[in-house]
Amino acid sequence: MTSLDVRSRFPGLSDGWVRFDGPAGTLPVDTSVDAIADYMRSPKPANLGGEFAATKASDEVVATARATVARFLGAEANQVVFGPSTTNLMFAFTRALSRHWEPGDRIVCTQLDHDSNVSPWLLAARDVGATVEFLEVDPIDGTLDVEPLKDLCADGRTRWVAISGASNLTGHAPDLARATAIAHEMGARILVDGVARVPHLPTNVAELGVDVLSTSPYKWYGPHAGVLVVRDNLLREVEPYRVRPADYDGPPRWETGTPQIELLAGITAAAEFMMETPLDMEAERETRLLARLQEGLHEISGVTVHAPSVTPDRAPTVIFTVAGHSPEEVDRYLASRKIAVWHGDNYACELIDALGLRSTGGAVRAGIVRYTTADDVDALLAALGELTSGK
């Protein structure tokens, strides 16, 4: 499928803006939009678990969503938990886990992560007297060496390792296979924040062997929602906070209240879209565009890139600063040219601090997604060149 064919599937591109805001949320693909609307217009809308036709049809929408997302992520349908957002699911999940912790137990987080994989652990640990340690990043390029996990977990008190599958700021993807091996060797479980990884890099839960993976369908062209893929033994062993009648088996035990069924129809369509093109093939195209962008940024006087070199195993996201202009000013200037980016810490609080960018207002973030073109990259570079030259 050509870039033009792909772009024709995103109605949100009709306003002429150049969109580099994808790491915060992508435009929905046409089939996802249609699936949501079709469900809402049909006779299907009804609550779940009844005996009449509409409720059975809605049951099937939910079952199809679990099976499709599971196929996309290399998991089993009975491991897929849906919720209103990944952050919402993380707070619920860590709160439930903490009922099994004791004072002195340890959680390991990383400086690479979005705060949705940090604050839920910090607060849950605080409530029960557990401690949280941080695996530190390289302060120059923000890369993360996972080998120090061995020392952090050496005393046998580490219950969980929470690690990013890819940074939502710099795109750096740590060695998940090695991190998982170390965590399990030390008797800990591992949760991977896959929100910035899943849209761009092959992610197979079974092959990685992780205990939990989080992802957000609205980062891969679907509606706003969250997903946790949880090993089924954990779904049984951990008691979630829930209403008393919700004594179900499997994922529904964790889904507080009736799910947003219409959105699950959209999630199914988005996952099917992601599987239309082999992810490694799309990753090659995105990596080429990232290289074009990052090399171009290096060539603009006054622009500093705060990210590692471009490699095939990195998500296509980059952050940069512009001398003499705050990130907010750069964002505003680009918006005046109908180019969408983000500025600030983008909720990667620990990483911004580790890179020394807090005092300057963070950084400007630009991300490559499936509807990004070489012309988009050139437009961004040209606008930044005009900004730095004072034109």
Put simply, whether the predicted model's pTM sits higher than 0.85 gets the answer yes
Q: Which residues pair with 344 in a beta bridge?
A: 363
| pLDDT at 307 > cutoff 90 | yes
- At 7-66, the pLDDT tens digits run 999 999 999 999 999 999 999 999 999 999 999 999 999 999 999 999 999 999 999 999
Q: How sure is the predictor about 178, in pLDDT bands with cuts at 50, 70 and 90?
A: very high
User: Are the CB atoms for 149 and 162 separated by under 8 Å?
Assistant: no
Closest by Cα among 164, 207, 191, 197 to 314 = 197
Query: Looking at the chain, which runs of residues are DSSP E strands?
Result: 18-19, 80-83, 106-110, 131-135, 158-164, 189-193, 212-215, 226-230, 303-305, 317-322, 339-340, 342-344, 363-367
* Residue 81: strand, helix, or coil: strand
Residue 83, strand partner residues? 226
Distance CA 217, CA 20 (A): 18
Distance, in Å, from the CA atom of 143 to the CA atom of 301, rounded to the nearest integer, reads 25
Split at pLDDT 50, 70, 90, the class of 278 is: confident
Only one residue has tokens 């209403």, namely 243
CA pair distance 151, 59, nearest whole angstrom: 47
Q: How far apart are CA 184 and CA 160, in angstroms?
A: 10
CB 213 within 8 A of CB 73: yes
**Is it the case that residue 4 has pLDDT exceeding 70?**
no
Pairing of strands 18-19, 106-110: unpaired
- The label of the residue with tokens 């030390």 reads 186
CA dihedral 324, 328, 329, 333 (to 10 degrees): 130
Say yes or no to pLDDT of 2 above 70: no
Domain covering 32-275 in this structure, CATH number: 3.40.640.10
Q: What is the band of 3 on the pLDDT scale with cuts at 50, 70, 90? A: low
User: Are 240 and 96 in contact, with CB atoms under 8 Å apart?
Assistant: yes
Tell me the C-alpha distance between 192 and 200, whole Å: 15
Cα–Cα distances (Å) from 284 to 200, 204, 207, 314, in that order, read 10, 18, 21, 11
Domain boundaries, the chain: 3-20+278-389, 32-275
- Indicate the fold that domain 3-20+278-389 takes in CATH: Aspartate Aminotransferase, domain 1 (3.90.1150)
365 band by pLDDT with thresholds 50, 70 and 90: very high
> Do the Cβ atoms of 220 and 26 come closer than 8 Å?
yes
Q: Are 229 and 212 in contact (CB under 8 A)?
A: yes
